[in-house]
Amino acid sequence: MTIHFYVSGRVQGVFFRAATRQQARLFDLSGWVRNTPDGRVEGVVCGEAAPLAEFHRWLQRGPEMARVLEVEWEVVPDQEFDGFTVR
């Protein structure tokens, strides 16, 4: 399963991308994450349903210094990535 997501709130400048990579690796997920010009964090993540659900729950909290207001989460056509990267 492959998910495209956006996270809104105070999510840039608070190590959100690095923490997202750490969580994705913890859950054995692949994909990427990046900052967007409008202040959100965007990513694509691939993996099994149960780990993706745990990852989604984590995104709703984010790292300690973040303040997540909204997570947009959409299933997209399957993709394959080698690991999880910060772009």
Phi, psi values for residue 69, rounded to 5°: -100, -35
The CATH class for the domain spanning 2-76 reads: alpha beta
By annotation, the residues acting in catalysis are 17, 35
Closest CA to 46 of 59, 60, 62, 27: 27
pTM of the model: 0.93
One-letter amino acid identity for 61?
R
State pLDDT tens for residues 28-75. 999 999 999 999 999 999 999 999 999 999 999 999 999 999 999 999
Rounded CA-CA distance 61/85 in Å is 20
d(CA 51, CA 10): 25
Can you tell me the mean pLDDT for 13-29?
96
